[in-house]
Amino acid sequence: MNTKRNIYLNMKPLEEARRILFDRFPGVGSMGAETVPPPEAVGRVLAEAVSAVVSSPNFHAAAMDGIAVKAEDTFGASQSRPKELAVDSQARFLNTGHVMPEGTNAVIMIENIQMVGDNRIRIEAPAFPWQHVRKMGEDIVATELLYTQGHTVTPYCVGALISGGAYRVPVRRKPRVLIIPTGSELVDWRSTAPEDLHPGQVLETNAYVLEKMIDACGGEAMRHDRVMDDLDLIRQTVAESVAGDMDMIMTIGGSSAGSEDYALPVLQDLGRVLVHGVTIMPGKPVILGDIQGIPFFGIPGYPVSAIIAFEQFVQPLIKRMLGIADEPRRTVAVVPTRKIASKLGVEEFLRVKLGQVGDRIVATPLPRGAGMITSITEADGIIRIPRQAEGIKDTDAVHAELLKPLSAIRNTIVTVGSHDNTLDVLADQLRAGDAALTLSSSHVGSMGGLMAVKRGVCHLAGAHLLDSETGTYNLTYVKRYLPDTKVTLVNLVMRAQGLIIPRGNPRGIKGIEDLGRDDIVFVNRQGGSGTRILLDYRLGQVGLSPERIRGYADEEFTHMNVAVAVLSGTADAGLGIFAAAKALGLDFVPVVTEQYDLIIPEAHFESANVQVLLETIHTAEFKRRVEALGGYNTSKTGTIVE
């Protein structure tokens, strides 16, 4: 094993790194040309100007069903003094699109004529020259310029190209980009069943994601088979690729500072390093280089890092080579739902969920791990936090780049608060009834949901806050923390809450009191969550101090994450809902049946979207799907909590 590690000696800011790359490869529109039929040219960039070969239409054509006439023969016709014309000699029947007979220059619509006998027609209004006639060349005139070079062909263009006789279209050749995934841990999903994955094995996905991103921006992607973590093997693979006909080469993985990260030494052996390390997050380990005049990219292996690095460097270079602009995403002013810390000196691409609440668009951060592909698949936008900032305040007005249309953002119900699996069912049921309506749920705990309601940054909050003195849920907390905010509480579900434990209960856990045992490792929910409040209440009941619990300080943000921690062996137990245990085939020790409510501000209760949501939770199909999860009771679902 190579124990030498790469070091980021001179990381570059994003704009400087881009400038270095584009200065090295300035070839705007440098791709050669090839000709293709018009339908195959859609999405391609014209290498040359295209002119019409023929006119369209290439004859004078009737634009209506009726009779073709010489307009001058109709002058003087009126209701009081109608005119008669002889069929065949003065008036000829024809349909839309037919060639205008010689000597005619107008069409009278069929509904405006009357037959007089077998061979004469009567009209009560004159025609004017070229009435209802498509003149030759009305749309396209032979030799006229249809599209300039650099124009991107759209589906609309196909009709014009064919109509103008341009049966072969010169387009710029697509840049050929080779993707080389590296890593001994990678396995092919096409030959590996999910249940056959072993610890340490990783399904290779980045090459497929980047392949489609290359296609989307106009390139031609080619995927190489996985290459093991072997310096000589990776070097040989890259060298052979350079000798081929590639326009760009990307390795995936091995660009960081680990002892088995070989992208940098391969580039140093075969070419020139332009940049190693950029002050962005995710995406910091990206490598930019030149191997015999071919752009080389060492793309980080974490999925989100790979996507960000591609969008900031590879995509704009492909578009430059094609001679098209890399248009920036649309941005919109947003208000964060909470303050967000960030690392000074690094520009962060923060993935966020967005939704319009009142007259503001609010942004809720998603998990920030570079390995979490769902943090970008679920994102509605990206907030770029400058490297000079240590974060953003919840009062700051910042801008987010939109990943989805603004219309979708405005049709999103923003839910902030406690996590529950039924929210996923609700989101799916809403889309089944209205494809334009989206439910966005952010899991910050019940108290976090109340604070979001207080600040007016959500449409509703999910909560299950137990008042240990009265035994009631949520009402006490609403009165205490939202004294000036009018809200309505609607029950979503009653649910079983208890200890999630491994199948077979190998530790023999019977209840909360067992969490104090030395052989039990616990995983907790975050402070402010209803589950955490319930735990602390039950610990007080059994006289167990949190300090005696191994893992009390280890926190997760959802019931499913607690269940995964137990499934993986990280913990022996965690407090959560039965549905999470059932979903992963774990055992469950019941502790309490609790009430999970939706807290809806009066300002949003009567809105159309919230009313659709309330109608949905009343449906039999929603209740059936919820009860199928296990551990839920829907007898009170949809009722207002008095």
CATH number of the domain residue 421 falls in: 2.40.340.10
pLDDT of residue 397: 81
Residue 269 tokens read as: 């052996």
CA nearest to 93, candidates 120, 117, 74, 75 = 120
For position 150, which CATH number holds? 3.90.105.10
Residue 337 and residue 288 share a domain: no
Residue 204 and residue 165 share a domain: no
Residue 85 and residue 168 share a domain: no
For position 117, which CATH number holds? 2.170.190.11
Residue 271 located in a structural domain:
yes
Residue 117 located in a structural domain:
yes
Residue 2 located in a structural domain:
no
> Token pair 């023999």 is at which residue?
508
User: What SS3 class is residue 581?
Assistant: helix
Residue 306 and residue 450 share a domain: no
Residue 184 and residue 225 share a domain: yes
Residue 210 located in a structural domain:
yes
pLDDT of residue 5: 55
CA nearest to 71, candidates 125, 33, 13, 113 = 125
Q: What's the domain count of the chain?
A: 5
Mean per-residue pLDDT, 353-375: 91
Residue 355 and residue 244 share a domain: no
Mean per-residue pLDDT, 502-507: 96
| Residue after which a domain boundary falls, among 266, 296, 322 | 322
Residue 638 located in a structural domain:
no
Residue 4 located in a structural domain:
no
Confidence (pTM): 0.86
Residue 399 and residue 353 share a domain: yes
Q: What is the pLDDT of residues 477-500, one digit of tens each?
A: 999 999 999 999 999 999 999 999
- What angle do helix axes 608-618 and 422-433 make, rounded to 10 degrees? 110
With 90 as the cut, is the pLDDT of residue 642 above it?
A: no
CA nearest to 340, candidates 364, 374, 370 = 364
- Beta-carbon neighbour count of residue 178 at 10 Å? 23
Residue 5 located in a structural domain:
no
Q: Residue 7: pLDDT band by 50, 70, 90 thresholds?
A: low
Residue 143 and residue 128 share a domain: no
- Beta-carbon neighbour count of residue 290 at 10 Å? 17
With 90 as the cut, is the pLDDT of residue 433 above it?
A: no
Q: Which domain holds residue 44?
A: 33-56+138-172
> Token pair 């943000």 is at which residue?
557
| Residue after which a domain boundary falls, among 322, 341, 361 | 322
| Residue after which a domain boundary falls, among 70, 104, 134 | 134
Sheet with strand 272-276: strands edge to edge: 220-223, 176-181, 248-252, 294-299, 287-291, 272-276
Residue 42 and residue 19 share a domain: no
For position 277, which CATH number holds? 3.40.980.10
Residue 555 and residue 574 share a domain: yes
For position 553, which CATH number holds? 3.40.190.10
- Sign of the four-CA dihedral 367, 396, 447, 457: negative
Residue 364 and residue 222 share a domain: no
Residue 281 tokens read as: 């997050």
Q: What is the pLDDT of residues 266-292, one digit of tens each?
A: 999 999 999 999 999 999 999 999 999
| Cα–Cα distance list, 398 to 327, 392, 401, 590 (Å) | 20, 8, 10, 45
pLDDT of residue 118: 84
Residue 295 and residue 190 share a domain: yes
- How far is residue 264's CA from residue 270's CA, in Å, rounded to a whole number? 10
Mean per-residue pLDDT, 494-517: 96
Residue 622 located in a structural domain:
yes
Do residues 356 and 405 make contact, with C-beta atoms less than 8 angstroms apart? no
With 50 as the cut, is the pLDDT of residue 3 above it?
A: no
Mean per-residue pLDDT, 79-96: 94
Determine if residue 316 is left, alpha or beta; phi over 0 gives left, psi from -120 to 50 gives alpha, anything else beta.
Answer: alpha
Q: What is the longest distance spanned by two Cα atoms in the chain?
A: 111
